[in-house]
Structure 1
Amino acid sequence: MNCKRQRDDSDNTEKRKKRKKREEIAALSPLLEDEDVKRGVKEAWSQRAQYSHGGLELDCHPFPHCIIRNFIQSESFTENLQRELLDLNFHEKSNDLYKFNQSDDLKKRKEPHITGLSDGGTLDLFSTDGHFQPHSVVKSLVPSWNTLVLFEVSPVSFHQVAEVLSEDKCRLSLSGWFHGPSLERPRRHIEPPFPRSPHLPRDETLLLEWLNPLYLDVDYQSQVQQEFEDSSEIQLKNFLKEEKFKEVSEALRSTEVQWTKRGPPNRRCYEVASLESFPQCVNACWELLCSEAFFLLLSNFTGLRLHYLSPSDEDEEEEKDQEDEEEREATGSSGDTPSANKNNKEPSTPVCVGELRRWAHGGYTLLHDGDASRAEYALDLLLPLSCPDWQTEFGGFTSYVANEEDEELLTVYPEENSLALVYRDKETLKFVKHINHRSSTLPIGDPCRRAVYDFSFVYYE
């Protein structure tokens, strides 16, 4: 046993020697020890001015940030660090694009930094509007070897890491925060909601003109409702008549439709069509989705009360109360009826709000801090158009998640002329996954054919 202990001690000593041999001191650039440089940076930072000296650059546009090249003095140290990092097990996040990498948490976080160790996506810095919301990318920093970037987390320090486009390169970096006193946060900007509208007075003629006759069959509508009530979602394929679908799809690619980018980037990035610029057939399709007849059809599909003619749970209760009252009158019993004790509640008017959207590379929507508090019971409608070759790996699908949970409840993929209906409660949130550069592999030609178009409506009882 003594011999074994001596051998173990000898092995441990040898390991310590090897470890010491491998250890290197991570000495920083001598530039950072220069008193004149430190004084110059401090002065410029406090005055929101520019400053540069050697491999150090300080800029205050769009917010103060500092770039330090050759941050670590030893080249061999950074190379060994890279090798060590690449030996780690990295786990891909597939449910990550619904929170924006904006100012992070202002509470105690002060100096986020990114050390670029290989070529990859740029660090994009955003300008802000009068509401302290990100507006557009005004500066992009290309990652470079052994370069440190730091900036103060503030109400305007909105930033993102751009998508890595190269298939054979990766963006390997270290990031973190130095914590300090909390900063005062400005009052949160609340976006005004889109105005909601009741149905348009259009009759069933529109349905006969536009819809696949299968969905006008009463027995089939009952079958759809049964399936919807079981799962709270359904997809109705070949929803529009083929000739109408083709007509609208072609019209959406015409130059007369005016598209406007919707932001801000910490909430969404896609284009929306101006209602005034709709071609005639597109306008007719819009009116279809807003029509009284369509509200009634949706009621038949879902069992929701989106039309006064559709039955509801309240109607069944009233019928039962009426039967009970008639029974009491027949037996001569007295007393207050349940219905007499109920408040006379005026039924709400069903309303809707909609958009015609265009999605291309870089498009997305995100969950936001205030979404959960404003969530309502609602019926979502999606009608994708003109996306025959769209693939799952491109992104652009709608994900439904439970509040405070990471697991997806439902994923709706773009499938042209397939009407998706999803009922969500106050605990269900949704976002559209970022459309990545793989979507650019679609057939070369008209760029509009690389886009997904969809009607997106929300209906409220």
Structure 2
Amino acid sequence: DLQLDCHPFPHCIIKNFLRSQTFVESLQRELLELNFNEKSNDLYKFKQSDDLKKRKEPHIAAVFRSWLGDVLGVELEPTVDISCAKYEYTVLLCHDDELEGRRVAFILYLVPPWQSSDGGTLDLYSTDRIVKSLVPSWNTLVLFEVSPVSFHQVSEVLSRDKCRLSLSGWFHGPSLERPPRFKEPSIVKHPHLPRDEKFREVREALRQSRIEWMKRGPANKCYESASLDSLPECVNECWELLRSEAFFLLLSNFTGLHLHYLCPADEEDEETEKKHDNEEEEVAGTSAESSTAGASNGGKLSTPVCCGEVRRWSHGSYTLLHDAEAAQAEYALDLILPFGCTWETEFGGSTCYVANEEDEELLTVYPEENSLALVYRDKETLKFVKHVNHRSSHVDGSTCREFYDFSFVY
């Protein structure tokens, strides 16, 4: 009843871990009587108990820690993080568990009879794809070494009437050395185009045309992005509109931000201009030509730029708290323009904004047909798109719902 495997990273599966069935059933009852708190952020949504270290209910013995230390050849610390989690219609997206001091992760499953069709599998990743899925089973313990490559997820729980109950946590010890973090290449930014365009209806073209959709990854984001070379004419016109000079001016008028040299200045700006006439003239200029010159000679303003995508969202799509644009700009203006949204909030797919290193959501933008969302943020405000769950695929019996959007950062 014990399996050891090193692919895609060292892990161990021990079935019938606790010898006494009476003990296991008593443990399950004790855990179900605990108080559970709703936990939700970009990675997960489930119910979790408080830390169980100080409770008197029986759990994993210290001798087990000693055995693990011998297997790994590492002296593990007495500290053990342990809590209980309930997954009901929920998910835990891809992550590596690395946090200072964590060395071995463990999960003890206390579930009813479970099949892969119920979801909730423990999926192990190799690079950017799942290579092994472990179906939870009663009184089975899973262990794995926490390392820079221990990427895994809990797939979406699909069962309506089963509770995926587990006791889980980490044994602590010296952390493994982490390689340098991969830096994604910067997204190409485009200056505004010096022409006016009108908005065209693109929904049907997005649904019916032969657009080439490319899957975005690795596992910190999962959605489809349109190849710009494959856009039909009306979609391309909308794309060009959103990065045109006219639209930069329109956004300036909407928001009061200096995204175009013709945007009206407020009283404070006018006073500043009087004090720094020469500097402002060098920065802003007095003609269309000077507006594209920006502040290349040391001025405090520069030519605004933007980058964007045409995206398609369906079951399984999401992004995590990862935004290269936010890291590069002190402030940024996000634009989201959805198409084809016959959508319910319970499907997921909403764009959530949170403060850096905080769980509480500051703002949630739900996809709504032909509704333009503008969000102004600083680099300490991060965003993610909530996981699109399986409910979007089972509407009215057989309908599979998806939606599209234009997403720009100015």
TM normalised by structure 1 equals 0.69
Match of residue 384, structure 2, among 427, 431, 434: 431
> 1:427-446, CA deviations, whole angstroms, 9 ceiling, x for partnerless residues?
21111111112212334566
| 2:195 counterpart (191, 202, 208) | 202
1:142 Cα deviation after fit: 0.3
Superposition pairs of residues 45-60 of structure 1, within 5 angstroms: 55-60=1-6
The C-alpha deviation readout for 1:374-432, integer Å capped at 9, x for no partner, is 453011000010012x1111111111112232222211110010001111122211111
Q: Is the 8 A contact 1:56 1:67 kept in 2?
A: yes
Q: Given the alignment of the two structures, is residue 320 of structure 1 paired with residue 239 of structure 2, yes or no?
A: no
Q: CA deviation at 1:160?
A: 0.8
The amino acid of 1:261's aligned partner reads K
Task: State the Cα deviation string for residues 166-195 of structure 1 (Å, max 9, x = none).
Answer: 110111011111212221110111111101
Equivalent residue, structure 2, for 1:141: 134
Paired amino acid for 2:100: K
Q: Establish whether residue 455 from structure 1 lines up as the match of residue 401 from structure 2.
A: no
1:404 aligns with 2:357: yes
Assess, with a 3 A threshold, how the Cα gap between structure 1 residues 149 and 395 changes in structure 2: closer, same or farther: same
Distance 2:373 2:338 in 1: 9
Alpha-carbon distance between aligned partners in 1 of 2:176 and 2:324, rounded to the nearest angstrom: 20
Alpha-carbon spacing, 1:322–1:364, altered in 2? closer, same or farther (3 Å): closer
Q: Which amino acid aligns with 2:179?
A: P
Give the 3 Å change call, closer, same or farther, for CA 369–172 of structure 1 in structure 2.
Answer: farther
**CA offsets 1:303-336 (integer angstroms, 9 cap, x no match):** 111112223468513543389xxxxxxxxxxxxx
Change (3 A) 1:369 1:414: closer
Question: What CA distance in whole angstroms lies between the structure 2 residues aligned with 1:111 and 1:418?
Answer: 47
Residue of structure 2 equivalent to 1:62: 8
Q: Distance in 1 between matches of 2:43 and 2:212?
A: 28
For 2:307, the aligned partner's letter is V
Match of 2:95 among 99, 102, 106: 102
Cα 1:368–1:287 change in 2 (3 A) is closer
- Moved runs in structure 1, 4+ residues, more than 6 A? 369-372
Structure 1 position 302 matched with structure 2 position 255: yes
- The question of 1:173 aligning with 2:166 is answered yes
SS at structure 2 position matched to 1:272: strand
1:108 CA displacement:
2.5
1:129-171 superposed Cα distances (whole Å, 9 cap, x missing partner): xxxxxx0111110001111111111111101111101110111
SS of 1:78's equivalent in the other structure is helix
Q: In the alignment, is the contact (CA less than 8 A) between 1:107 and 1:183 conserved in 2?
A: no
C-alpha spacing 1:270/1:370, structure 2 compared with 1 (3 Å)? closer
CA positional deviation for 1:107: 3.1
- Matches of residues 297-446 of structure 1 in structure 2 within 5 Å? 297-312=250-265, 316-317=270-271, 319-321=273-275, 345=299, 347-368=301-322, 373-374=327-328, 376-388=330-342, 390-443=343-396
In 2, distance between residues paired with 1:288 and 1:369?
Answer: 24
Whether contact under 8 Å (1:378, 1:423) holds in the other structure is yes
Cα deviation digits, residues 50-89 of structure 1 (max 9, x gap): xxxxx11112221121111111111111111111111112
TM-score (normalizing by structure 2) = 0.77
Q: Structure 2: how far apart are the matches of 1:409 and 1:307?
A: 28
Alignment of 1:10-89 (within 5 A): 55-89=1-35
Alignment of 1:259 onto 2:258: no
Paired residue secondary structure (2:124): strand
Alignment-derived partner of residue 291 in structure 2:
none
Distance 2:143 2:323 in 1: 25
Q: What is the SS of the residue equivalent to 2:164?
A: coil
Which whole-Å deviations, capped at 9, do the CAs of 1:73-111 have from their partners, x for residues lacking one?
Answer: 111111111111111121222435379652222533221
Instruction: Provide the C-alpha distance between the structure 2 equivalents of 1:151 and 1:307, rounded to a whole number of angstroms.
Output: 54
Is residue 91 of structure 1 aligned with residue 42 of structure 2?
no
Q: 1:92 to 1:152 in 2, by over 3 A?
A: same
Q: 1:369 to 1:148 in 2, by over 3 A?
A: farther
What root-mean-square deviation, in Å, do the aligned CA atoms of Structure 1 and Structure 2 show?
2.3
Equivalent residues of 2:93, 2:155 under 8 A apart: no
Aligned length: 337
The answer as to whether partners of 1:106 and 1:185 remain within 8 angstroms in 2 is no
- CA distance in structure 2 between the partners assigned to 1:273 and 1:371 by the alignment: 19
The alpha-carbon distance between structure 1 residues 446 and 284, as it changes in their structure 2 partners (threshold 3 A), is farther
Letter in 2 for 1:364: Y
2:229 is the counterpart of 1:276 = yes
SS in 1 for 2:346: helix
Q: CA deviation at 1:254?
A: 2.2
Aligned 1:153-192 pairs, distance under 5 A:
153-192=146-185
**Secondary structure, counterpart of 1:311 in structure 2:** coil
How far, CA to CA, are the matches of 1:308 and 1:105 in structure 2? 47
C-alpha change, 1:180 and 1:344, in structure 2 (3 Å) is closer
Please tell me whether the aligned partners of residues 326 and 332 of structure 2 are also in contact (alpha carbons under 8 angstroms).
Answer: no
Structure-2 residue corresponding to 1:123? 122
Shift of 1:268: 1.1
Distance, in Å, in 1 between the alignment partners of 2:399 and 2:229 is: 24
The letter of the residue matching 1:147 is T
Q: 1:107, 1:182 within 8 Å by CA — same for their partners in 2? A: yes
Give the structure 1 partner of residue 63 of structure 2.
Answer: none
More strand by share: 2
Residues 86, 124 of structure 1: alpha-carbon distance in 2 compared, 3 angstrom cutoff: same
Per the TM alignment, residue 122 of structure 1 is displaced from its structure 2 partner at its CA by 0.2
Consecutive unaligned residues of structure 2, counting only runs of 5 or more, are 45-91, 278-296
Which is helix-richer, 1 or 2?
Answer: 1
